[in-house]
Structure 1
Amino acid sequence: MRRIVMFNWLTADGFFAGPDGNLDWVVPDEEQARAAAAAIAGIDTVLFGRRTYERFERFWRHALDDSATVPDPHRPGARSREHRAIAVALNELTKLVFSRTLNEVTWHNARLVRDLDPRAIEAMKRQPGKDMMIFGSGSIVSQLTQAGLIDEYQLGVCPVFIGSGRPLLSGVSLNVRLELAESKRLPSGDVLLRYLRSDGAR
């Protein structure tokens, strides 16, 4: 069965974005790029909420031709092997964009989905294919966590407090038991944590 994997960078006080959605507390480096490239290598589908889709589409759609309209999260002008791998993958992967406000999505292989139906997602997990991944998209993460459909949580914890912002989970009313599968400290002080969802959620 296909799995759903979540990948997000977080502050040490639990926010995945600042109050206005900014990510200026993330200090990009090559280790972060390697982590993202490794995460994306085993998937064939990305699940996006509107805001994350728009951010990714503005940059990654043109990441290799220097026409991006948002700052490069892996340093402007840097075109490492990992950076290229991320850009190529994101442009080719199937992208499901969950939004009731967008009229269309034009990124290659992107498809607009009006409603997030846990039953439809569960059916997708039973279909042949590689794993699916969520980047950003706190509302999607929250709804699928509540539905018990996320199998793995990959968290990059940055050594910074920002005091306020957008929490990764909102409206989740159950305890979700996790099993630590891997941890790695990066030279920057970031810590990569890979958790598997256990069956002890309640």
Structure 2
Amino acid sequence: MRKLIFAMNVTLDGYIAATGDDIGWSGGGGPDSSPSDELFQWWSDRVGATGLALYGRKLWEAMSPHWPTADQRPGATPAEIEFAGRWRDMPKVVFSSTISTVDWNTRLVTGDAVAEITRLKADDGGPMDIGGATLAAAAMRAGLIDEYVLVTAPVLVGGGTPFFTALDNWVNLTLVQTRTFPGGVVLTRYETRR
């Protein structure tokens, strides 16, 4: 059975995007900041270790115009080149009822997301990452997430898209890792206690 992990950058007040889908804060150093080299490498290593990535439409639309060809852009850093290759190679599933095609080692699911995620979890293979607020919220409410990874930037944005959704039941977690990155960004990993 595969492990399902929800990992995202998040503000200290709990948002994965500020109002207007603004993620300029996500590097931890203020508006329009980039992540530290150390944090960017951590994310790249996660992509390299992911067996399957599950994307909601908005996250797919944010990632797919940039990363497939980022390694071919003038001035691309070695880290960006590595990330772009890992991202292209990583198998992906996009869940959406409004888009009709996907590419870059990706398959589209237009039906019941919870049923498909449940089926995918039952398969053999490496860990699955889930991203996108709406998709992750559906998996959260269904009790499918095995691990939560919050990469918390020291910024308060006051509103936007929350990391956590409203739940019908408590979810008990066990802290399994903490790590501090430059700029005051803090990683916390929690496993779901079943």
Q: Same fold (TM over 0.5)?
A: yes
Is the contact made by 1:139 and 1:169 (CA closer than 8 Å) also made in structure 2?
Answer: no
| 8 Å contact from structure 1 (residues 7, 39) kept in 2 | no
1:188 Cα shift? 1.0
The separation in 1 between residues aligned to 2:48 and 2:24, in whole angstroms, is 26
User: Paired residue for 1:12?
Assistant: 12
Q: Does 1:103 align with 2:100?
A: yes
Q: 2:38 aligns with which of 31, 41, 53?
A: 31
The equivalent position to 2:117 in structure 1, one of 114, 121, 132, is 121
Q: CA deviation at 1:78?
A: 4.7
The amino acid that maps onto 1:89 is R
What amino acid is the match of 2:7?
F
Task: Return 5+ residue gaps in structure 1 as ranges.
Answer: 68-76
The one-letter code matched in structure 1 to 2:9 is: W
State which of 54, 60, 84 in structure 2 corresponds to 1:53: 60
TM-score of the pair, normalised by structure 1: 0.86
Shift of 1:123: 2.1
Would the aligned equivalents of 1:138 and 1:168 in 2 still touch at CA under 8 Å? yes
Structure 2 segments unaligned to the other structure (5+ residues) = 28-34
% identical aligned pairs: 29
Is residue 164 from structure 1 mapped to residue 159 from structure 2 by the alignment? yes
Contact 2:54 2:93 in 1 (8 A): yes
Q: Deviations over 1:107-136 (max 9, x none)?
A: 22111111233233222112121111123x
Question: Does the 8 A contact of 2:47 with 2:90 survive in 1?
Answer: no
What count of residue pairs does the alignment treat as equivalent? 187
